[in-house]
Amino acid sequence: MHEGTVYWSSDGTAAMWVPEEPFAPGETLTVTTGLAVRGADQGVAELRVALTPRAPRAEPSSNSQPAPTKLPPSDTQHFVTRPDLKAPKLRVVTPATRTAPGYVFLTP
């Protein structure tokens, strides 16, 4: 059982329950209410907390080379918001297949 506090929304039309401690990934919760709630069976609903995703391990390709310890200034990007960051310029040379349209963002 989790302890928590009920708060009213700023417009006073809804209540929110905020737990004192976070739920554990994969934890099953049982919510009981006397109200008619969609998806609940006589006011009882079970929910499961999402599992924390794990990033897949990236394996180097057969033609991978070690990164140099220091890049020339022309091979790095510079950011006003992070002047200390000297991120390497990246160029994708193998087109992706079976991917959704859009951009891929890489971050440090």
Over residues 67-107, the pLDDT tens digits come to 667 777 778 888 888 888 888 888 777 777 888 777 777 76
Q: Is a pLDDT exceeding 90 seen at residue 27?
A: yes
Contact 97, 76 (CB under 8 A): no
E-assigned strand segments in the chain: 4-8, 15-19, 28-32, 44-48, 76-79, 82-88
Rounded CA-CA distance 13/25 in Å is 30
Give the start-to-end residue ranges of the domains of the chain: 4-48
What integer is the mean pLDDT of 42-46?
Answer: 90
pLDDT at 108: 60
Mean pLDDT across the chain, nearest whole number?
Answer: 83
Burial 81-104 (b: 16+ CB within 10 A, else e): eeeeeeeeeeeeeeeeeeeeeeee
pLDDT at 107: 67
Rounded CA-CA distance 29/1 in Å is 9
pLDDT at 7: 92
Global confidence as pTM: 0.42
Q: How confident is the model at residue 1 (pLDDT cuts 50, 70, 90)?
A: confident
